[in-house]
A and B are shown apart, each in its own frame.
Chain A
Amino acid sequence: NAGVTQTPKFQVLKTGQSMTLQCAQDMNHEYMSWYRQDPGMGLRLIHYSVGAGITDQGEVPNGYNVSRSTTEDFPLRLLSAAPSQTSVYFCASSRTSGGTTDTQYFGPGTRLTVL
């Protein structure tokens, strides 16, 4: 299994541009999520999905959209990039959406810079 994969690894955008960060998992996990990590901080949840066709907002959803058309894929869209969205973005998945023994598997991250 490849686990959780993310593309691209690095991206530079200009303010106002849009782009999609890709995330895929091959473990048939129900739950997928997107986090952002800023320097010296922990992870903050942007959006999550508990299954195909079901998404919900996390702590910091503004400026981002998600969709979950398949179990495997969970893309994150930046609608109009802003410098405040400069961050490292991590995608994660887990077997179910809240079992007491669930742990999350993380992708390698996408480092995004918005100029």
Chain B
Amino acid sequence: SQQGEEDPQALSIQEGENATMNCSYKTSINNLQWYRQNSGRGLVHLILIRSNEREKHSGRLRVTLDTSKKSSSLLITASRAADTASYFCATHSGSARQLTFGSGTQLTVLP
């Protein structure tokens, strides 16, 4: 079963605009991670936020975590065509020795 569910499933924006993707999960977590997958490629880790953190930045990425609502958001600012990819959230919970992935958001950035 999938712990994280991304919203929206697909997002299309113009270059230079900001893109926001949301992730909701069901059980309490140790950390939440965001990954990017370019078409036909493996996943690449973007950012990790721990359960005791509320916001984290990395370059043009900003991640927030609201554990009371069991949700996270990924903001990509000043998007570029190269940001076109699928974005997945993944949660690590309790003593589970595994990450659980959501179904992803397909982001298309139009030049």
Report A's interface with B, CB cutoff 8 A.
4, 31, 33, 35, 40-45, 48, 50, 56, 58-59, 90, 92, 97-98, 100-109
Contact = CB atoms under 8 A, between A and B. Distances in A.
B31 A106 contact: no
Interface of B: 1-2, 4, 30-31, 33, 35, 40-45, 48, 50, 88, 92, 95-104
A50 to B, nearest CB: 6
A90 B42 contact: yes
B31 A101 contact: yes
A101 B1 CA distance: 23
Contacts of A44: 101
Contacts of A92: 43
B85 to A, nearest CB: 13
Contact of A100 (B30, B44, B101): B30
B96 A98 contact: yes
B24 to A, nearest CB: 13
19 contacts: A4-B42, A40-B103, A42-B2, A42-B88, A42-B102, A43-B43, A43-B88, A45-B98, A45-B99, A45-B100, A48-B97, A56-B97, A92-B43, A98-B96, A100-B30, A106-B35, A106-B42, A108-B42, A109-B42
